[in-house]
Amino acid sequence: MHATTGGLILVAHNEWKIRDVFLAAPLGVYMPHTPTEPDVVRRLLAGVREHGHVVCKEYVTLGAMGVGVPVWSSHGTVIAALTVGVAVKDARPMMYVPALAVATQGITRALTSLPPPRQLSRFFPAASTVDA
């Protein structure tokens, strides 16, 4: 979670207690640029909340960069992350942020307009409840 754009977005927008538990666990090293110090990750998480996006340059794969933004529910909570992976060479991460942000607005609108999910039978997950 600490090395991916989606993971950082989801952790950043979670409750502070969960962030503290997350940061208390050992943070694995995947590449030389992977942030593993809790204070560094804390600053990254604060940046995600403040700026609304995150850029992860070579955290997991050399030569690759992740750029991501949160997907918000209609209730104002983060429910997912929308990310893109690009090659570091010649990448300008800030050119992706506006496009991702517009896409997340569309996702939020689409999710808000969906009808409520149908209730499924407890004992027969594939069968739906039929109104009598």
CATH of the domain at 65: 3.30.450.40
Question: Taking phi first (over 0 means left), then psi (-120 to 50 degrees means alpha), and beta for anything else, what does residue 118 get?
Answer: beta
How many beta carbons lie within 10 A of that of residue 105, not counting itself?
Answer: 13
Calculate the average pLDDT of the chain: 88
Over residues 2-26, the pLDDT tens digits come to 999 999 999 999 998 989 998 999 9
- Per-residue confidence at 132, pLDDT binned at 50, 70, 90? very low
**Does residue 10 belong to any structural domain of this protein?**
yes
Single-letter amino acid, residue 42: R
**Does residue 89 belong to any structural domain of this protein?**
yes
- Chain-centroid distance, C-alpha 26: 20
Q: Is a pLDDT exceeding 70 seen at residue 94?
A: yes
DSSP state of 27: P
CA geometry: angle 79, 44, 76, nearest 5 deg: 25
- Per-residue confidence at 127, pLDDT binned at 50, 70, 90? low
pTM: 0.81
How high is the pLDDT of residue 31? 94
**Does residue 26 belong to any structural domain of this protein?**
yes
Domain with 15 in it: 5-113
- Name the domain count of the chain: 1
